[in-house]
Chain A
């Protein structure tokens, strides 16, 4: 059974800092991994999808990497801003599981001005 873990659970940084969020998963038989952002009480906003054959994916100030064999992904946020404050969730889509996503518990990020 796939298990996804995100460390740290919460993070507080000053504005402008570069930061790394971690995601690990136990079963490497995945199609892809997707990073999401969630603002309080809201739905999920897709940030990046990284395919199992890819090593990294970039969108603006965000860069996601994937090491499938070791079951790890990182989300790098450059030059953080107060508007980046949110909960960040990673989710994996396993082979032979349809479109079901297995989520980590999230990292709650606070960027202080």
Chain B
């Protein structure tokens, strides 16, 4: 069974540009969550999508957005990049049931210069 796949693995962007990251969850999982990991703030929740609907959102500015497609694949978009957006972006996939595990992808390392 394939795991969670995130693409691309690495990205270098310039301030002011926008970026789109992709996450393919484990087959059959309908919940996809996104997290930002930085050395200073640790892992912080961005948002969760379930069956194409945003179900929960963290405390991030509106420059961070996402969507989910009918095949459960999800994308997150960051517009008008800032240096502080440099981070490891992780996505988590989860199956049905309250007490099932969340599985994470390898992440996308975004560097803003």
A42–B109 alpha-carbon span in the complex (Å): 9
Q: Are B56 and A31 in contact (CB under 8 A)?
A: no
Q: Is the interface of A mostly helix, strand, loop or mixed?
A: strand
Min CB gap A108→B, angstroms:
12
Q: Are B101 and A100 in contact (CB under 8 A)?
A: no
A31–B101 alpha-carbon span in the complex (Å): 11
Chain B residue with the shortest CB-CB distance to A48: B101
Task: Tell me whether A98 and B104 are in contact in the complex, defined as CB-CB below 8 angstroms, given that A44-B90, A103-B42, A105-B42 are known contacts.
Answer: no
A100–B100 alpha-carbon span in the complex (Å): 13
| Complex contacts, B55 vs chain A, CB 8 Å | 98-99
| Complex contacts, A31 vs chain B, CB 8 Å | 98-99
Q: Are B101 and A49 in contact (CB under 8 A)?
A: yes
A-B contact count (CB 8 A): 67
Q: Are B43 and A103 in contact (CB under 8 A)?
A: yes
Within B78-113, the residues touching A (CB, 8 Å) are 88, 90, 92, 94, 98-107, 109
Number of chain B residues close to chain A: CB under 8 A: 29
Is the CB of A101 closer than 8 A to any CB of chain B? yes
Number of chain A residues close to chain B: CB under 8 A: 24
Task: Tell me whether A44 and B104 are in contact in the complex, defined as CB-CB below 8 angstroms, given that A31-B99, A98-B48, A101-B33 are known contacts.
Answer: yes
Is the CB of A83 closer than 8 A to any CB of chain B? no
For the A-B complex with A46-B104, A99-B94 known, give 5 more contacts whose Cβ atoms are closer than 8 Å.
A42-B107, A98-B48, A102-B45, A103-B35, A103-B43
User: Which residues does A use to contact B, with CB under 8 Å?
Assistant: 31-32, 34, 36, 41-46, 49, 51, 89, 91, 97-106
